[in-house]
Amino acid sequence: MDKIPDYSGLSLFDIISQLRTRSSTLEKDEILEFLILDPDRCLGMYAGEKLFLDSETYLCRSWRTWNDLATLFGFRMLTPRPFDRHRLRLRWSKLGRESFHQEDPEEKYTLQSRFSRISKEEEASFLYYYSQSLRRLNIGERYEILDLGIHRGHELEPIRRLSGDKFSAMRIIGVDRAADALEEAQKRYPDNLRTYCHDINNLAALDPGRFDLILSIGTLQSPGIALKPLIMNLVQHHLKPDGALLLGWPNARWRDGELLYGAQAPNYPFNELSLVIKDLYWIKKYLQQHHFRVVITGREYLFLEATKIGKSG
């Protein structure tokens, strides 16, 4: 049996160098193992601080560090095993390349797609920031809601939970191009949701009216969206004078069941943020010119929330 590499006393630079070499030859579900200092021994200590135990020198790393490294190298963390008094046997499993991002554009968002297996509201890094934004926007007082790119309506469940009894009085319009997904959303919220299979670039044809909240999560970055004309149209023709916006961009990608930080542009093999930063900057500047207070939060998803200055919300 090969000796398990010991990373418990290595610098992070050396660890990354070894991981890069070892991980490059592994296939899906193959296991990568190595020894680490038990992170529970490092509570309150900083990354790389030395810890002297039984005449040995170790370098502290938190669970966050090891989980970040697993994500960066395309692995999922498995349950560690004890090795000796101070060290653990850390085990990673190589992720497959399967992702809905690679599917045919015409099939990518149907109920038969990988995308339809995803429940964003069950991802902590999505739900936490999304719920915080909804609270700041006083979601219980936003009775008229337009949801662009609603798909199966998963982002409505946190609204229902946070609004309580007020949810039944809300009128929600959902627009999407995936007809079968809209049918499922309609079944989930039959009393106050009305859905339209329609191109959101052409809302004028629907004439949906004006809303207290315009919501769009993970849709505005799509190649077929004319972003600037759409935002201007929403603000000028579909938002009430004291209305709010909550817009979300994925800064992540799904692989083999895992949500991995960092969106990947088609022409780059790494996380590239210039396009989303450009879009967010333009929208923020435009909304501020129209007297909105704009806040941008999030991590795996970036959320832009906007409320009129001097108005409730």
The angle, 0 to 180 degrees and rounded to 10, between the axes of the packed helices 124-136 and 156-163 is 50
Fold of 12-94: Translation Initiation Factor IF3 (3.30.110)
pLDDT (0 to 100) of residue 103: 57
Does pLDDT of 312 surpass 90?
no
Nearest CA to 258 out of 124, 107, 132 is that of 124
Does pLDDT of 102 surpass 60?
no
Cα–Cα distance for residue pair 147/305, rounded to 1 Å: 14
261-299 pLDDT, tens digit each: 887 776 777 788 888 999 999 999 999 999 999 999 999
Does pLDDT of 106 surpass 70?
no
CB-based contact 176:194 (threshold 8 Å): no
Does pLDDT of 311 surpass 60?
no
209-219 pLDDT, tens digit each: 999 999 999 99
Does pLDDT of 109 surpass 70?
no
Does pLDDT of 1 surpass 60?
no
Q: Where are the domains of the chain?
A: 12-94, 101-308
Task: Over range 62-82, report the average pLDDT.
Answer: 96
Percent of the chain beyond pLDDT 90?
79
pLDDT (0 to 100) of residue 43: 96
- Enter the DSSP assignment of 80: -
Q: What is the CATH number of domain 101-308?
A: 3.40.50.150
Helical ranges in 24-89 per DSSP H = 63-72
pLDDT (0 to 100) of residue 175: 97
Percent of the chain beyond pLDDT 70?
93
Task: Over range 152-162, report the average pLDDT.
Answer: 95
The token duo for 255 is 């692989």
Does pLDDT of 239 surpass 60?
yes
**Contacts (Cβ under 8 Å, ≥6 apart) of 212:** 141, 142, 143, 144, 145, 240, 242, 243, 244
Does pLDDT of 4 surpass 80?
yes
162-206 pLDDT, tens digit each: 999 999 999 999 999 989 999 999 999 999 999 999 999 999 999
Nearest CA to 129 out of 7, 308, 305, 297 is that of 297
249-265 pLDDT, tens digit each: 999 888 888 888 887 77
Task: Over range 119-127, report the average pLDDT.
Answer: 90
Rounded to whole angstroms, the maximal C-alpha distance in the chain is 75
